[in-house]
Amino acid sequence: MAEASLFATNYHCDAVARTPSQIATMPRADFLAALRDKPDAGFESYQTHALEVQAQRASIEIMRLRRVSDRLDAWLDLHGEPEKGEWIRDADQIGVSPPALYRELARRR
């Protein structure tokens, strides 16, 4: 969701669906009215944002680590091992090239 655009006059957002997805839209005014009129909706929104901030902070901490092995360890501690075929996406998430990640995985085997 492009929450930041709710409070901007001009804001450029885009998204990429990496898996089959369904998308719902709602006019901005209707969404803001729902947040005002339904306290539970606002609470869930705050909760979602808090989780996103936590994820971003964790990502920053992982990116600060210098060694691929340290980044991978931190990522695995937080997210566990990905499903087969998903490692390439995780390489991007930890800020390393896929070949560097695959070398580290091979070293661990």
Q: What is the pLDDT of residues 63-107, one digit of tens each?
A: 999 999 999 999 999 999 988 888 888 898 899 999 999 999 999
Residue 1 pLDDT class (50, 70, 90 cuts): low
- The span from the first CA to the last CA of the chain, in angstroms, equals 39
What 3-state DSSP class applies to 15?
Answer: coil
pTM: 0.60
- Whether 89 maps to a domain, the answer reads yes
- Whether 45 maps to a domain, the answer reads yes
- Whether 10 maps to a domain, the answer reads no
Phi, then psi, of 90 in degrees rounded to 5: -70, -30
Q: Supply the range of the domain harboring residue 62.
A: 25-108
- Whether 34 maps to a domain, the answer reads yes
pLDDT on residue 61: 94
- Whether 17 maps to a domain, the answer reads no
pLDDT on residue 73: 96
How many domains does the chain fold into?
1
- Whether 12 maps to a domain, the answer reads no
Q: Give the dihedral sign, CA 51/53/55/58.
A: negative
- Whether 9 maps to a domain, the answer reads no
- Whether 54 maps to a domain, the answer reads yes
In residues, how long is the chain?
A: 109
Of all residues in the chain, the percent with pLDDT exceeding 90 is 40
